[in-house]
Amino acid sequence: MAELGKTLHAWRDRVTPAEAGLPAGGNRRAPGLRREELAALAGLSVDYVLRLEQGRSSAPSVQVLEALARALRLSDAERGHLFVLAGQAPPAPGQISARIPPGIQRLIDQLQGAPLSVCDAAWTMVSWNPMWSALIGDASLLRGRERNIIWRHFMAEHGEVAGFGRVHQTPEQAAGFARAMVTDLRAAAARYPKDAGLRALIQELRTKSKHFAQLWDDHVVGFHESNTKLVDHPDLGPIRLDCDVLTAPGSDLRLIVYTAPPGSEAAEKLRLLSVVGLQSLS
């Protein structure tokens, strides 16, 4: 695993915090990601990343490799090389992929002025830009299930987890959102019947959320619609933004994008947010 460790270290050194959607403040000996930043982006412990880079870890799982490839923004060829170095085969077609195609990544990079996040077919966040973190909160602090938007929505209804507290929905929006999410999850289960992680997510939701179980058993159908949502930012106050869910062509990725009409007060607040990022304005 020594070659794997050296390669991971080299790839980490070339990714800047800004490219990865992280604040770039603080004194840095090198322009790349710190070890703890890579760990946060990939949802791993710092100790595990250290052991990987030092060649002291046994073969990492497919899930770990996918998370590393995503966090390090690897190309298709580099992702394949990562799996070879780790002695693993890439995920089979019957499993949900968190890979972001290069063309989609370029599109995301060109939308840096709009808060944006990317979710896989199960609605687990796999990427976000700095504006998303500045508007909604630092997603790199979330771990495991906490990054799944459907899980957070239904668990928040029962007070078992904090939802995305800055985003406020009307009761009608929340109901439509729940129906659309259940519909998406059912469609994902049909497309990826062999994905164990997806089956476990659905089973946990059915067990812990009576609302989800009812919607699932009733075979409700819903669709994502453009909505205006109120985001209560701790420094800028309320910001009313348009929220759209876009589907990336040729993939099951969803892009959640917040925008504001040109010249509006909300657009000016987004402009200010793009300047200050995650820094406190107070």
CATH of the domain at 66: 1.10.260.40
Residues 6 and 74 in one domain: yes
d(CA 67, CA 63): 6
Residues 82 and 117 in one domain: no
Strand positions, DSSP E, the chain: 116-119, 125-128, 167-168, 227-233, 237-247, 254-259
Residues 54 and 111 in one domain: no
Residues 182 and 236 in one domain: yes
Decide if 248 contacts 255 (C-beta within 8 A). yes
Residues 125 and 204 in one domain: yes
Q: How confident is the model at residue 280, as a pLDDT? A: 53
> Quick check: is 62 in a domain?
yes
d(CA 85, CA 78): 10
Residues 80 and 117 in one domain: no
The total of structural domains in the chain comes to: 2
Burial of 83 (0-12, 13-18, 19+ CB in 10 A): middle
Tokens 């949502």, residue located: 229
> Which sign does the torsion angle of CA 106, 109, 115, 118 carry?
positive
Q: How confident is the model at residue 282, as a pLDDT? A: 43
Residue ranges making up the domain that contains 25? 2-86
Q: How confident is the model at residue 57, as a pLDDT? A: 77
Q: b or e along 133-151 (b: 16 or more beta carbons within 10 Å of the residue's beta carbon)?
A: bbbbbbbbeeeebbbbbbb
Residues 42 and 123 in one domain: no
> Quick check: is 67 in a domain?
yes
> Quick check: is 94 in a domain?
no
Residues 255 and 130 in one domain: yes
Residues 126 and 246 in one domain: yes
Residues 70 and 123 in one domain: no
Residues 43 and 114 in one domain: no
Alpha carbon of 94 to those of 38, 89, 122, 123, 235: distances in Å? 28, 14, 13, 17, 44
Q: Which residues of the chain, if any, have pLDDT below 70?
A: 1, 21, 23-26, 91-93, 158-164, 250, 277-282
Q: How confident is the model at residue 121, as a pLDDT? A: 92
Which residues are CB-contacts of 20 (< 8 A; sequence separation ≥ 6)? Answer: 33, 37, 41, 71, 73
Tokens 């058993």, residue located: 217
Query: Which of 86, 115, 136 marks a domain boundary?
Result: 86
Question: Which H or E run includes 204?
Answer: helix 196-208
Q: How confident is the model at residue 259, as a pLDDT? A: 95
Q: How confident is the model at residue 202, as a pLDDT? A: 96
> Quick check: is 281 in a domain?
no
Residues 46 and 110 in one domain: no
